[in-house]
Chains A and B, each alone.
Chain A
Amino acid sequence: MTQINVSEVSSVQLRQLKPRFSSRFKEFFVRHLQVFFYSLGLLSRAPFATLMTASALGIALALPAGLYVILDHASQLSGDINSINQISLFMKKGISEKSIQQIQKKLEAYPEIAQVKHVNREAALQEFQDNSGFGEALKALNDNPLPDLLIVSPSMTHNDPQQINILLNDLKTIKQVDLVQLDIQWLQRLYAILHIGQRGVLIIGSLLALGVLLIVGNTIRLAIENRRSEIVVMKLIGATDSFIRRPFLYTGFWYGLLGSLIAILLVNISLIIINDPLAHLSSLYESNLFSLKLMGIKISATLLLSGCLLGLMGARIAVGKHLKEIEPK
């Protein structure tokens, strides 16, 4: 029987082929970079199929993104929240400038009131003539039909509907006041509608995000199926699961990125198409409020990020499920 000494024994034991940490760290980036471009190369080899999938993703992402952009415009149109709760006090006619100023001072001392603005009736007429489009007609009037106006902004601590109602009743008791009007109702309604719209975007967005996951997942599933024999070979020569997974994950990432780029393109093209007739409509109202801007950087970035994440997630789900089934036989 042959004698084998200990040093010989240890030399024939299987080596651990894990490279050292420092080189692994560097190789990690190099390899990710390689796979990054390798997976892009794979996609560009079938440009038509890639574009079809990416377009499907683009359309799915463009719908909620587009709705969101429109809602965003609508909320900007309705102004900031502070301006919702403005109370207009129309003064009775013939009240002297001095007593109006006294009332203003008195109101400003209220803790419930942040600010009181006096709109002089002459100034109001001038502004109305300038901006309303009825300038010529108003010149025909001998007398200024407008009353003096105090615009009361409740303080931030007193702006819930109940407190405002109490304040409203308080203000009504001032005897120089003719009419108290809260500019809130139509805005409340608009906000309610916008709120419904936001929920709608949330629902549509979630459903279509699920759609994106499914599209990417299915595409990756097919890609895995196509590369079945390659995966078997990889496993046989000692590839780890994460090594095999990586190109598929990057493929999912690329699909997500391409899809969201297409979505941004689609939304912006749609905005440009809508913008002209909208500007025309707006001009008919003598207003330039309703001009649509292209997608902002923040929304675009959010869309890109969520597209990439959805692509990655879809790929991860598909890979996790299907790679396990492929083992050498």
Chain B
Amino acid sequence: MQKNNNNNGFSMILFDQVSKRYKGGNEALSKVNFHLHPGEMAFLTGHSGAGKSTLLKLIALIERASTGNVIVGGKNLNKVSKHTLPYLRRNMGIIFQDYQLLYDRTVFDNVALPLIISGFSSREVKKRVHAALDKVSLLRFEKKYPVTLSGGEQQRVSIARAVVNKPALLLADEPTGNLDHDLSREIMDLFMAFNQVGVTVLIATHDIPLIKQLDKRIIQLNHGRLNHAQQGHDPLITAGDES
């Protein structure tokens, strides 16, 4: 992996003067600078339309930056071709508000999908899917179809699917948006648990009361710009602190 500047090695995610302008002129992100250490966990907050989803989409390569560099795991995403993009995504677990499960397949098959895509043997698939389902306490549901599960359970299935590949990075876009407080807390605890074993986690949410209980770094977006930092550990987040 090439190094694009001397900051790469220190960051799982590095945004360098990143702007994103959609067709039609509205600027979703403007000159955003921030970085996330390997193994760090952070929340991305802000009002609706502040650019949270856009920021996550840039990391997941669903969108590309209009200007500036997004560097993930040492790779400058501007230089990732369409051909290598899938291999990059296999290192990220992505979790959505609406779960994005396949409803004509069992829980097991849903969770197994990333492994099958990566070409694991069926024995390995079985082992890893069971481990992932066990982590989200859904092993007993492996033969069920997602429709028969509650919202919280479906979100746990999607988390199992996101972590089954043992990705270095977890991204979540409003993962608790459809869940009540207790279930939301349960989901957040899961993310904390994965973070504790070294996974870098970035979660977009506007559930401020919940994340205030969790003592993690908070990155705030306001009309596409990065606000001041609110976190306990690392002051490395305000705009312009990259040198």
Taking Cβ atoms with an 8 Å cutoff, the residues of A that contact B are 1-2, 4, 6, 8-9, 12-19, 23-24, 27, 30-31, 229-230, 232-241, 243, 327-329
- Distance of A15 Cα from B91 Cα, bound (Å): 7
A-B CB proximity, top 6 nearest: A14-B73, A12-B38, A238-B90, A238-B89, A9-B9, A14-B91
A224 to chain B, nearest CB (A): 15
B42 to chain A, nearest CB (A): 15
Within B1-21, the residues touching A (CB, 8 Å) are 1, 9-10, 12
Query: Which residues on the B side are within 8 Å of A243 (C-beta)?
Result: 86, 117
Taking Cβ atoms with an 8 Å cutoff, the residues of B that contact A are 1, 9-10, 12, 37-39, 60, 62, 72-75, 86-91, 94, 100-102, 104, 113-114, 116-122, 161, 165, 168-169, 200, 234, 236
CB <8 Å contact, A12 and B117: no
A280 to chain B, nearest CB (A): 56
Interface SS majority for chain B: loop
Query: Which residues on the B side are within 8 Å of A329 (C-beta)?
Result: 62
CB <8 Å contact, A238 and B114: yes
Query: Which residues on the A side are within 8 Å of B116 (C-beta)?
Result: 31
CB <8 Å contact, B113 and A234: yes
Query: Which residues on the B side are within 8 Å of A24 (C-beta)?
Result: 119
A-B contact count (CB 8 A): 98
Query: Which residues on the A side are within 8 Å of B168 (C-beta)?
Result: 12, 14-15
Query: Which residues on the A side are within 8 Å of B104 (C-beta)?
Result: 230
- Distance of A328 Cα from B118 Cα, bound (Å): 19
B17 to chain A, nearest CB (A): 21
- Distance of A241 Cα from B37 Cα, bound (Å): 31
Q: List 14 A-B contacts (CB under 8 A).
A: A4-B38, A8-B38, A12-B38, A14-B168, A17-B90, A30-B122, A230-B104, A233-B100, A237-B89, A237-B90, A237-B113, A241-B86, A243-B86, A243-B117
- Distance of A260 Cα from B179 Cα, bound (Å): 53
CB <8 Å contact, A13 and B114: no
Of the candidates B62, B72, B94, B161, the one whose C-beta lies within 8 Å of that of A14 is B72
**A13-B73, A230-B102 are known contacts. Are A238 and B119 too (CB-CB below 8 A)?**
no
CB <8 Å contact, B102 and A17: no
Chain A minimum-CB-distance residue to B62: A328
B57 to chain A, nearest CB (A): 8
CB <8 Å contact, A236 and B89: yes
Query: Which residues on the A side are within 8 Å of B119 (C-beta)?
Result: 19, 23-24, 27, 31
- Distance of A141 Cα from B94 Cα, bound (Å): 102
**A14-B74, A236-B100 are known contacts. Are A27 and B121 too (CB-CB below 8 A)?**
yes
CB <8 Å contact, B161 and A18: no
CB <8 Å contact, B1 and A237: no
Query: Which residues on the A side are within 8 Å of B90 (C-beta)?
Result: 17, 237-238
- Distance of A328 Cα from B171 Cα, bound (Å): 15
CB <8 Å contact, B113 and A17: no
Query: Which residues on the A side are within 8 Å of B114 (C-beta)?
Result: 237-238
- Distance of A297 Cα from B91 Cα, bound (Å): 51
Most buried by A among B12, B91, B118, B165: B118
Query: Which residues on the A side are within 8 Å of B91 (C-beta)?
Result: 14-15, 17
Of the candidates A1, A19, A30, the one whose C-beta lies within 8 Å of that of B118 is A19
Query: Which residues on the A side are within 8 Å of B62 (C-beta)?
Result: 236, 327-329
**A14-B75, A16-B87, A17-B91 are known contacts. Are A238 and B12 too (CB-CB below 8 A)?**
no
CB <8 Å contact, B100 and A240: no
**A13-B74, A14-B74 are known contacts. Are A234 and B121 too (CB-CB below 8 A)?**
no
**A17-B90, A240-B86 are known contacts. Are A234 and B74 too (CB-CB below 8 A)?**
no
